[in-house]
Structures are given as structure tokens and as C-alpha cells.
Amino acid sequence: KFSHLVAEPLDPINLVIINFAKNTDPKKVMLGVGAYRNEELQPHIFNAVKEAEKRLIEDENATYEELPPEGHAEFNELVTELLLGKNNPAILENRVASVQCLGGTGSLRVGAEFIKENIKSEFIYFPDPTWPNHYNVFGFSGAEIKHYHYWNSELKGLDLEGFLRDLNEMPTGSIVLLHACAHNPTGVDPTQEDWERIIDVICQRDLMPYFDAPYIGFASGDFDRDTYAIKRCIERGLQFLISLSFGKNFGLYGDRIGSIHAICQDQETKEKVQCALGSITKSMFGSGSAHGARIVATILKDPELRENWLNELISVSQRMQNMRKLLYDELVRLEAPGNWLHIKTQIGMFCYTGLTPQQCENMIEKWHCFMLKNGRMAICGLNTKNVGYVAQAFRDSLNF
Ligand code: LMR
């Protein structure tokens, strides 16, 4: 019955996890996966999450009842406010549909189904490069996947002119997948001025943005900054989709907690969209998991827990910025040929080093520094103890 199946190649990120686990070198360094690690290179549990869990265990009214298809109502309300700000006109006008999903990936997958059933767009445009799993997820959207210019390898920065040119040539009604902040894999985001120009063309060409936003708050420690482009699109009157994940900013990776939001033209449309999104979750997985939603809601509604969480989020994002600086300083100290400023100016979880596949091969095979072969390095795999070793590996790999 099943023998005709052909083994699919593994996702490069999963492959790096497997290869790292098999490697026995004591100096090995994990720079492959975008899952935050602290200075001890351990998974980080936020204090506010621990406290919220304690409260949930002690809550005598808590049950294991299943959530409705649209998920935990209070969670949906609180995360919409977190995303847009309580006084955002779209919230005040009651035109944001919000549905809880299974992690960021599950949210994108619900979005892909929604596009297929209700938008029926001919094309969806991805930045080149993008997160590899976008290809799997949006393969279900019914839209043909195309690309727009994003990374300028010479500048090791944004190819804004290429991006704008491509936007200008997209057929009206196309969907444009945008990374709200901390672009994965490049760590390069448009500036606020760049966003203005990008959004201008999106409006002129009547395109539909779809923001993948797994890193809000986590990228800079500042929600206003990390959601700038989303809020500007609302101010410009656009209607669009947003997928959120609470894996990174609450550290709730395994709880698979995320949400999808649609900015609609009015309340009546919002009710219909909410219903459509709910019927997709119902047919795909029933409803999201209650536990993660309760943790997030408990933190967001309690001013003290919320502040504690926000402060810790700032220190998480600062640790990543410090690691960038340390790596840069080490490369300069070792006189590694080239300009490494981009390591410091990129943002978020990833550094797109600019190393060639051959150089990455040397990082992995000779130095056991596991990263993606496209040159992406997860910055949180660095700590004050291994950064010198990684810089040495880097320096050596430049010879290839
Ligand atoms: C990454 O890009 O490394 C993360 O989003 C994790 C994953 O599984 O892709």
C-alpha cells in the first residue's frame, strides 16, 4: 500500500539538528536552529511563564475542556491588543478577525487554506531568500509561488530597488509575503523609510500583504518598533493577513501557540472572516491547545507579570545584540579579511554571514560549527565562551 512513496529530502533545519546530535566533538557549536538559547546554551524559560503555570495549576476552576474552533477568546483579544496597540483604529472599529492556531507554522497553514478557499489569488510572492518551510506551507495555497528581490549579496543588505521594481511588476491582487521584522534568514529589515516606499507600491498596485511575524518583541525588545510595518499598513487602509507565533517571544516553542489575524474593511466582513478561519481550524485540528493560550493570557492581563516578561524579553534581545558585537570584535581582532559590519547591523535571531556553501562546509566538517549551508547562523548558539572559537573557525573558513 505504501511502498510507492518516495522519501522526501529533509528540511535543511531539521537536517542540521540531526547532524548536530550525532556529532561527538566536545567543542561542537549549534548555530543552525532558530530556537533561543541563553548564555549557558540552554532553552530559556521566562520567569513570567513559570509563574503563570503555577497560577494555572492552583486554579480550581480550570478544566481540560476543548476550546471552540476560533480558540481561547481572551487570548485572542489580548494578543490582538499586543500586536496592534489597544487604541488601534482597527480594534476600536471592531474589524480585526483573530483566531488561535497551532504555532506560527499552523497559523501560516490556516492562512494558506484561507487564501485557497476565499482569496483565490493567482500568485504569492516570497522574498528571496525566505524561511524554507514557507514553500511547504504555501504549496497548499493554490497560488503559484514567485519571488521578489530582497538580499543584495554585495551590500550584504536589502536590495530595496530590486524589491520595489518587482512589486511594481506584480499583477494586481497578488499576495506579497512580508517578514514583519527580523527577516529569516537574512536578519535584514527595511528601515521605516524603506517600508514607506514599499507600502506606497503595495497600495498603488492593489497587492495584499501577508505578514509572517514570529519575532515581534523578540527582535528589538520593542513591540512598537517590531510591528511598525503592520501598523503603517493599517493606517494606509490596507486589508491583509498576519500570522503570529508565541514560540520565540514567550519561549513557548513546544506548546505550539500562535494566531492568525485578518484586518478587514468593517465589522460585518470581520464576522465572516472569523467564521471562515474558524471553520478551517475546525477541519484541520479542531481547535488550538488551551494550555499555551492560558499562559499567554495570564501574563498579558496581569500588569506585574506583563512587565516582568517584557523586561526579560528586552534582555533576551540584548543578549543577541551583544553576541553580534562580540563576534564582530573577534573577527576584527583576528584580522579576518572583509567587512563584517553586517553582523552587527542585522537584527534578530539570525546572521546571514555571506559565507559560501563551501566555507560553511568547512565550518561544519572541520570545526563542528553547525550552521545552514546558505550561510545562516543562529546567533543565540554563541556565548562568551565559544565566540572566540567560532570566530577562529570563521577566519579559517574564509580560505576556501
Ligand atoms: C528556524 O528558522 O530555524 C526556526 O524557525 C525553526 C524551524 O523549525 O524552522
Q: Ligand 1 pocket, 374 CB below 6 A?
A: no
- pLDDT level of residue 153 (50, 70, 90 thresholds): very high
Taking the model in full, what pTM does it have?
A: 0.97
Amino acid identity, residue 332? V
Q: Which residue puts its alpha carbon closest to atom 6 of ligand 1?
A: 34
Helix (H, G, I), strand (E, B) or coil at 27: coil
What is the Cα–Cα distance from 296 to 302, expressed in whole angstroms? 10
Quick one: pLDDT band at residue 92, thresholds 50, 70, 90?
very high
- The predicted-structure confidence for 300-334, as pLDDT tens digits, reads as follows 999 999 999 999 999 999 999 999 999 999 999 99
What is the structure's pLDDT at 9? 86
Backbone angles phi, psi at 146, to 5 degrees: -130, 175
Residue nearest to atom 1 of ligand 1 (CA): 34
- Confidence bin at 226 (pLDDT 50/70/90): very high
CATH code 3.40.640.10 region(s) in the chain = 66-301
Q: Does 105 sit in the ligand 1 pocket, CB within 6 Å? A: no
How far, in whole angstroms, is CA 94 from its chain's centroid?
26
Which residues, other chains included, contact 380 with Cβ-Cβ below 8 Å and sequence gap of 6+?
A: 35, 36, 37, 319, 320, 323, 349
Residue 375 predicted with pLDDT over 90: yes
- The model's pLDDT over 186-214, given as tens digits with 9 standing for 90+, comes to 999 999 999 999 999 999 999 999 999 99
Q: Is the CB of 34 under 6 A from ligand 1?
A: yes
Parallel/antiparallel/unpaired status of strands 144-149 and 123-128: parallel
Q: Is the CB of 202 under 6 A from ligand 1?
A: no
CATH 3.90.1150.10 domain residues, the chain: 12-44+312-397
β-strands 175-179, 123-128 pairing: parallel
Atom of ligand 1 nearest to the CA of 33: 3
Q: Domain 66-301 classified CATH 1.10.3720.10?
A: no
Backbone angles phi, psi at 75, to 5 degrees: -55, -50
C-alpha cell at 309: 516578561
Q: Which of 107, 131, 137, 373 to mutate to test the pocket of ligand 1 (most atoms within 8 A of CB)?
A: 131
Please give the torsion angle defined by the CA atoms of residues 84, 88, 266 and 179, in that order, rounded to the nearest 10 degrees. -30
- Collapsed DSSP state (helix, strand, coil) of residue 74: helix
The pLDDT, as a whole number, for residue 121 is 95
The predicted-structure confidence for 330-370, as pLDDT tens digits, reads as follows 999 999 999 999 999 999 999 999 999 999 999 999 999 99
The chain-wide mean pLDDT, for the chain, equals: 97
pLDDT of residue 238: 98
As a whole number, mean pLDDT of residues 42-50 equals 97
To test the pocket of ligand 1, the residue of 13, 218, 370 to mutate (highest count of ligand atoms within 8 Å of its CB) is: 13
**Does the structural domain 12-44+312-397 have CATH classification 2.60.200.20?**
no
